[in-house]
Amino acid sequence: MGKYVITKRSNGEYQFNLKADNGQVILASEGYSAKSSCENGIESVKKNSPDDARYEKKTSTNGKYYFSLKATNGQIIGSSEMYESTAGRDNGIESVKKNGPAGTVDDQTV
């Protein structure tokens, strides 16, 4: 089972990373000014990650592939790493769908 790791950036913002069983980051959040907002972001991933329609598949300017997970209001909750192939990106989406809903939370800011 995956886990959400909450950390604090050097600028004071909170962020979370969803990690797969192997420890690889499969989804990274934006920065949040409040820890409670970061925790709400995690809840949003848990709620939205099973839904195929919430994923936006993209290609970067350097030709690599990635995806964003969006909430029902269209706001981006998190983004993936860059992948060399569309198959890699699609596997990343499947991993978020598998690990997102039941991931545990590891708060490293306390």
DSSP-assigned letter for residue 71: -
Residue-wise pLDDT for 93-103, tens only, equals 999 999 999 99
Q: What is the pLDDT at residue 1?
A: 82
Hey, which CATH number is domain 3-107, 3.40.50.1580, 3.30.70.940, 2.30.29.80, 3.30.43.10?
2.30.29.80
Q: In whole numbers, what is the pLDDT of the chain averaged over residues?
A: 96
pLDDT in tens, 36-72: 999 999 999 999 999 999 999 999 999 999 999 999 9
What is the rounded distance in angstroms from the CA atom of residue 8 to the CA atom of residue 35? 9
* 48, containing H or E segment: helix 35-48
Task: Note if the pTM is more than 0.85.
Answer: yes
The answer to whether 97 and 49 are in contact (CB under 8 A) is yes
